[in-house]
Chain A
């Protein structure tokens, strides 16, 4: 069974530029999550989708971050414009629909904002 796929793996941009990350969850997983992991910290949930609807985006900085999950499968996370403090690893995870099911994580995208 293929795992969660993410691309790109690394990205370096200048502040005020825009960037987009892509995630393809495990086949059949209805729930998709985006986490931000700043160096030295644990992952923090940015947004959670159930199929193509948003369940929780309370910690998403909506003035600069956006995410979509069209057709309820793969997802993109965008930052526009990027700030220095957005430098982090962005992790995508997916799980089955059942409450408290295990979340499976992708390898992450490491973003450096200069």
Chain B
């Protein structure tokens, strides 16, 4: 069965610092991978997705993620964090039939 692990429940970074959120997945076939962001009281917004091709994927708001098959990872990065990036971030793997399996999320706090 497919699963997603986000090892960090909370992460705190200083504004302007770089960010990396970790995601490891388990899936028997070639995965479709997603990162979503959820602000308090809001639904989920897609940041980026990986289906195939270039393993470095660019998304919205300056985020990028790198697919590493050998490590079963799809880590999210941003070179310089802004206070507005404070939110909860979810990694997900797409399974058969377009079903999404989500990780438990990582809460990002940004300190000024």
Residues of A within 8 A of B (CB): 4, 31, 33, 40-45, 48, 55-56, 91, 93, 95, 99-108
Contacts and interface: CB of A to CB of B under 8 A. Distances in A.
A101 B98 contact: yes
A95 B41 contact: no
| 7 nearest A-B residue pairs (beta carbon) | A42-B102, A105-B43, A105-B44, A107-B43, A100-B32, A43-B102, A106-B43
A42 B43 contact: no
Contacts of A43: 44, 90, 100, 102
Interface string B26-39: 00000010001000
Given A42-B103, A105-B44, A107-B43, A99 B92 contact: no
Of the candidates A48, A56, A100, A108, the one having the most CB atoms from chain B within 10 angstroms of its own CB is: A100
Contacts of B92: 42
A42 B92 CA distance: 9
Contact of A42 (B42, B90, B99): B90
Contacts of A4: 43
A11 to B, nearest CB: 14
B53 interface: no
A55 B65 CA distance: 30
A37 B100 CA distance: 13
A56 B104 contact: no
Of the candidates B41, B98, B100, B103, the one having the most CB atoms from chain A within 10 angstroms of its own CB is: B98
B32 A42 contact: no
A95 B92 CA distance: 16
